[in-house]
Structure 1
């Protein structure tokens, strides 16, 4: 009997196991980095994915949205040691409010998003910090974006990520976050701890859905 080897899309280990099954799709768990990921055979097309994103209401003047993003902006700004640094908001979406908030705080911001800010030139330089709010869970092959971030981030730089983290298999089964068809890569605290240890970061778990990773020199 043949055995299907499922490679982890983050750490590339080949020891993933079935984690959960629902009516929509199957999910696997990497035994090395603890990433949970949806069956890649069930992915939306880019056109379907874009249509989902266009349903989001990310208004720059929405006070609720600003308050939501403040959970990432506050610990990120507290971690930055100089008043005017260069940052990249990666996966900024159609309403780049986080970048505006960081810019208003005195930092020089660049934007990148494959759908809404596809500007390859911003990926040709290095940054003092990178922010990624509610985007990493959409990455099909997060190993690629992570490797890119390692290239883009200066020594001593800061990586700030907002994404809801799963806890247990039982909680995952009833977790609304997994039901969004564009959410395909799910991180645990242990996943970020693995990446931090492997790639030389200090990890600060700032909130239930926020981590700040400080790159060591």
Structure 2
């Protein structure tokens, strides 16, 4: 089984400065009702899967960690990491009950390395919650809006997700309507 991912050729990747400038334009405001609705299914799933004494990591939190903000109001303990906006790598030296990776995995320039890291950061019975758009053959890729973001460098389909599960030793994969869960 191949992974069937679609990757942007590295010579087309943005420079780190251009990438950061683009991320600053993202409007992930903790008070934006539309964005809160967009991420609410992930918030609800984490609340149903874990108690508030669980520890989490918002990996690639960006400028506005909306999911983290909402979960902290329910007493969840969550660390933040983002290579541009919260680059403290000390948080990557511990393990977590769950990791949030919301609208991040499509930015992975080295996806194998990133998923290996995420897998090592999960405690036994831990879960990785990923939110991204999954491509399928029915999508007209040349006109797909999601690929038009110049910071999106990899696109996953269901086979890609199964490849990650199998090759990185996750115990299960759940592909939900709005997000994906990898479990240890």
Task: State the TM-score, normalized to the length of structure 2.
Answer: 0.94
Q: d(CA) in 1 for partners of 2:158 and 2:139?
A: 16
Cα deviation, 1:95-117, whole Å, max 9, x if unaligned, reads 11111112222310000000111
Confirm or deny that 1:94 pairs with 2:63. yes
Matches within 5 A, 1:10-89: 32-80=2-50, 82-89=51-58
Q: d(CA) in 2 for partners of 1:186 and 1:71?
A: 21
Aligned pair partner of 2:154 in 153, 163, 185: 185
Give the secondary structure class of the aligned counterpart of 1:148: helix
Which of the two has greater helix per residue?
Answer: 2
Deviates more, 1:156-165 or 1:168-177: 168-177
Q: Which runs of 5+ in 1 are unaligned?
A: 1-30
Q: d(CA) in 2 for partners of 1:65 and 1:141?
A: 27
Give the secondary structure class of the aligned counterpart of 1:147: helix
Confirm or deny that 1:112 pairs with 2:84. no
Q: Which runs of 5+ in 2 are unaligned?
A: none
Confirm or deny that 1:166 pairs with 2:129. no
Deviates more, 1:193-202 or 1:114-123: 193-202
Cα deviation, 1:153-206, whole Å, max 9, x if unaligned, reads 011101100000100175222211001100001111221122223313211112
Alpha-carbon RMSD across the aligned residues, in angstroms, is 1.5
Cα deviation, 1:68-93, whole Å, max 9, x if unaligned, reads 1112222232222x331000000000
Q: d(CA) in 1 for partners of 2:74 and 2:114?
A: 26
Runs of 4+ in structure 1 deviating by more than 6 angstroms, as ranges, are none
Q: d(CA) in 2 for partners of 1:165 and 1:105?
A: 30
Contact 1:130–1:160 (8 Å) recurs in 2: yes
Structure whose CA Rg is larger: 1
